[in-house]
Structure 1
């Protein structure tokens, strides 16, 4: 079963301990594995996606079902760069899989190496369902904690390297180019095509081809009425 968030527990950031599982959460998914992001896209086409989330790991609940659909709403195209130059910033922005990247980088973040996520967002796939009682679920749902209320779509690229190189190569990498053979910049993750998103319009009934990658998701707790959003 696809799952992320299996990094060394000793690298856990202090803020994660304060995370409240039975609450709403707004998460970037750029640190998820490609397989998990793909499975989420499929789950959202088959019905309302159900997940198990404990603030440190995330996995889909493929045997659990919740009736419903997602509609697409186009928005003004927005671009955003999230720079993370300390391990705490990585853990705060990427609580699910970011710690695995920290492990791969060997603790270099904060000592000359940084992570940067370049995002383009063109619309949202949203369910009209605002809440779900556990009695509405069918199948194997014993460990399910949240349903995906909405997903912001577009494209993204995440790279690691020196802060100076990340600034120089950000636009090149965003267009699908290479940072160069002598550069220490490394693409950690990419989904969708940032250039393809330039064709989006707020009135669009669907995102442009290759610009429908999931960038962020909104999780709503199962069985809860209303709850305050927990800042990530």
Structure 2
């Protein structure tokens, strides 16, 4: 029995199975082509965009100079919406230059590092065996606000889902393959990934897939920069935030509104009867003449007509009375019944006064 088992193992090894574990049946992997890998959600809100075509990165850079940018972001697709205007702008924050190197060896690494371009790069990964990204980051453009409401957008924004709130800038180089060289009778690595080269000289090939900026220029960046050095402003990574849905307004009260009260009629003001003034028959109303220039204003003078009339009446009355007395004394006296002086009567038949 033991000899049979040993022979079976030797036969499997000779057939190229490599190990007994290779004989164990494996269930097929469920990997739909139209769905992103689970690990791609690691950097979903801060994806690298170094694999974007130059035209797309240039469009995003130009729009970011005018103001905040809205995008349609779903799954592994991000589309920049150039006709959608977002309130706010970006301000540059200079940081200490940071260098980063990312090595992608399998599809899981690919979807985790480059979720937006993983589907397009799977063929390049299989052909080259690995992909590498070299980054130099010198600063970030930060948006003025971290939350934008959908109702604040203007223009063609029906498909907008997110707004870009930050853009890391610097320089990068994205290439396929390794950068190590192998000499004769050399080996690289250990374990299942070991590669042995005997009696030959092999050099790993590098294929540039995309690049932007100049890493030598990025070395001149300082903390006082208000903008990235010219030649070191390539877009490397974006940070997106989902748009805030507008607040729902509560429905108005459906109860019938009370009918407004009819306006009250204002009472008609009654005219105050004027007191009738009895003026003397000889008086007439007059308007005082305006004062001549240079004279001081004061109470109007008394009416001269009334004074003249009253004076005339008094004078006439006094004249009649005095005349009557003189006439009565100078007329011829008649002897009275008693014959005394002063006891007679006047011509009018009235007794005269006596002394």
User: Is contact 2:141–2:166 with CA below 8 Å preserved after alignment?
Assistant: yes
Q: Given the superposition, is the C-alpha separation of residues 11 and 118 from structure 1 closer, same or farther in structure 2, using an over 3 Å criterion?
A: farther
Q: Which has the larger radius of gyration?
A: 2
Within a 5 Å distance, the mapping from 1:139-178 to structure 2 comes to 139-162=155-178, 164=180
Q: Compute the RMSD of aligned alpha carbons.
A: 2.4
Partner of 1:228: none
User: Is contact 2:71–2:161 with CA below 8 Å preserved after alignment?
Assistant: yes
Structure 1 portions without partners, runs of 5+ = 1-8, 166-181, 226-232
Partner SS state of residue 46, structure 2: strand
Within a 5 Å distance, the mapping from 1:1-80 to structure 2 comes to 10=33, 13-15=36-38, 19=41, 25-80=45-100
Query: Is 1:108–2:127 an aligned residue pair?
Result: yes
Structure 2 portions without partners, runs of 5+ = 1-31, 182-202, 247-355
User: Is contact 1:53–1:59 with CA below 8 Å preserved after alignment?
Assistant: yes
User: Is contact 1:12–1:91 with CA below 8 Å preserved after alignment?
Assistant: no
Q: Which has a greater percent of strand?
A: 1
Query: Is 1:206–2:227 an aligned residue pair?
Result: yes
TM-score by length of 2: 0.51
Structure possessing the higher relative contact order (Cα contacts under 8 Å, 6 or more residues apart)? 1
Q: Distance in 2 between matches of 1:12 and 1:155?
A: 31
Aligned length: 194
User: Is contact 1:114–1:163 with CA below 8 Å preserved after alignment?
Assistant: no
Partner SS state of residue 155, structure 1: strand
User: Is contact 2:179–2:204 with CA below 8 Å preserved after alignment?
Assistant: no
TM-score by length of 1: 0.77
Runs of 4+ with >2 A deviation: 9-14, 106-109, 162-165
